[in-house]
Amino acid sequence: MSDEVNKPQDQEEPQVFAVSKSLGDKWTFNRRDFITAATAAMAAGALAGCGNGEESEYETRRTPAATYVPTPASVEDYCRQISAHLGPVETLAVSPDGTMLVSGGGDKTIKLWSLPEGELLHTLEGHAADVTSVAISPDGTLLASGSWDDTIKLWSLPEGDLLHTVEGHADGVTSVAISPNGTLLASGSQDDTIKLWSLPEGELLRTLTDHTYYIMSYVTSVAISPDGTLLASGSNDKTIKLWSLPEGELLHTLEGHTGAVTSVAISPDGTLLASGSEDGTIKLWSLPEGELLRTLEGCGYVNSVAISPDGTLLATGSWDCTIKLWSLPGGELLHTLEGCGAVNSVAISPDGTLLASGGLDNAIRLWSLPDGKMVSCLLDPEMLPDAILDIELETGARTALPCGSPIPKGATCICNCVASRVYGPTCGCVGHRSEATCSCDRVCTCDTVCSCVGDCSCDSKGSGGSGGHYWHPN
């Protein structure tokens, strides 16, 4: 392996090319185009406030012919360099057993990832527009996905086979939720309706129509209570509605937000409802009465809310590029997580130890709970630049991953020490030539230390080192 390959000062930094995204194939400005344009404009405004210097909501990153990619200084830096989807990550859901994460994106695909490893298992294709919402059945065998193509698709898990395409909405599907017994699917739509469907057949049972209609109004979010008797729906009409299930009778209309309600979530014991809004607040409501308990402030446009399985933690994702962790039921702000792009979705694992977030930067990040430390982010190996993937190993092509990052399938992790290269004091001695490399676990858990007393070694204690592992794409 040549010295030239390993000298970061001689190489170019990765280049960033802005890529525009069309708002649609039609030149006519219909209702959906209007909503899409408005959403894109708000997203652009949100990104402008993130302070990351990026000019576009969408971008692709390409590496020039040079084969060296500088070692990221942190997990946060690494996550800014890679993507999970080719478009924004719109929605996330964790399987009931905590072994799978499902993501839906603006690239029209659904991706299935293993947890906690973060390995990409399957990419599901079939939707003709952005995938806006995903939900997993309580037994983990069925996946429902909603899309702006006006349809809902039902898939088998873990295989990812398409079972049914459910049609009936007159506009894009914005949210889906599955009842605790797995027999009922609720969907919200840009047509300002909520529809209830039987599962697994996907037959329409009834349509709920009491949200206010106007050009910028649509149902944004639906959630079903743990006992399956209550449905909550949020809308751009600034209200939340509570419905009985399975009858679909309107019970209460909750008012108080001054902007569109973007997300609703119900606590595991069914006594608390959290709602997020573009007005920058989160409101906590009692259930089933629907009384306002408290208002949490200090956020930007709140796009997603999620409650931990034990009901003691609330996670919120916003377009101000932060995730906030709050105590429940008190509503005390515990942590503000930064280092991410504008956030579209947050999801918490069943054991409450892991938080997943996705957003407009096309990335999925994993955070430990309750401390809120960024653990890793998910990489689709197909999205690595061709300049890296297509180079043969003997050329020395490589990239770097920080400790704690999942190693892509088919890659080999080696120590941060190159055979026959002279290392100075950072390798433990002056002028010593290392003659060997050493393998590491597929999941990096420690800093790499080159002892250079004999062969290179990975110090499992994580002391010293460069803070990263190298891997070779095979």
Strand stretches in 322-465, DSSP E? 323-327, 333-337, 343-348, 354-359, 364-368, 374-377, 399-402, 411-414, 422-423, 432-433
Q: How many residues does the chain have?
A: 474
- Dist. CA 127–CA 363, nearest whole Å: 20
Angle at 123 between CA 119 and CA 125, to 5 degrees: 170
Q: Which residue is it, tokens 């990351």?
A: 52
Helices and strands (H, E) in the chain, number of each type: 3, 35
Residue ranges per domain, the chain? 4-19+58-77+384-473, 83-381
Per-residue pLDDT tens over the stretch 106-157: 999 999 999 988 889 999 999 999 999 999 999 999 999 999 999 999 999 9
Which helix (H) or strand (E) segment holds residue 21: the answer is: none
Mean pLDDT of 179-205: 96
391-418 residue pLDDT tens: 222 333 344 444 444 544 444 444 443 3
131-136 β-sheet, strand order: 131-136, 142-147, 151-156, 162-167
Model pLDDT, residue 215 = 61
Question: What pLDDT does 74 receive?
Answer: 58
Stretch (H or E) spanning 136:
strand 131-136
Under 8 Å CB-to-CB from 200, ≥6 apart: which residues? Answer: 142, 154, 163, 164
Question: What's the confidence (pLDDT) of residue 429?
Answer: 32
pLDDT at 376: 81
- The residue assigned the tokens 């979530």 is 265
Q: How far apart are the first and last CA of the chain?
A: 16
pLDDT of residue 217: 77
Residue 447 or 229, more confident: 229
* Helix, coil or strand: residue 28: coil
pLDDT mean over 353-378: 91
Its sign, for the CA torsion 95, 101, 104, 109, is: negative
The whole-angstrom separation of Cα 181 and Cα 226 is 9
Domain 83-381: CATH class, spelled out: mainly beta
What whole-number distance in Å separates Cα of residue 118 and Cα of residue 444? 12
CA-closest candidate to residue 411, choices 402, 398, 422: 398
Q: What is the overall mean pLDDT for the chain?
A: 74
Q: What is the percentage of the chain residues whose pLDDT exceeds 70?
A: 63
Report yes or no on whether pTM surpasses 0.85.
Answer: no
Q: Which range is most confident: 19-23, 60-64, 222-226, 373-377?
A: 222-226
Closest residue by Cα to residue 276 from 297, 253, 252: 297
- Given this model, what pLDDT does residue 449 score? 36
> Would you state the pLDDT for residue 211?
78
Cα 89 from Cα 82, distance rounded (Å)? 13
Q: What is the pLDDT of residues 239-288, one digit of tens each?
A: 999 999 999 999 999 999 999 999 999 999 999 999 999 999 999 999 99
Q: Regarding predicted confidence, which is higher, 298 or 230?
A: 230
Location of structure tokens 């960024």: 374
Is residue 175 pLDDT above 90, yes or no? yes
- Tokens read off for 74: 């942190």
Digit-coded pLDDT (tens) for 66-86: 233 334 445 666 677 778 999
Two tokens at 196? 């209830």
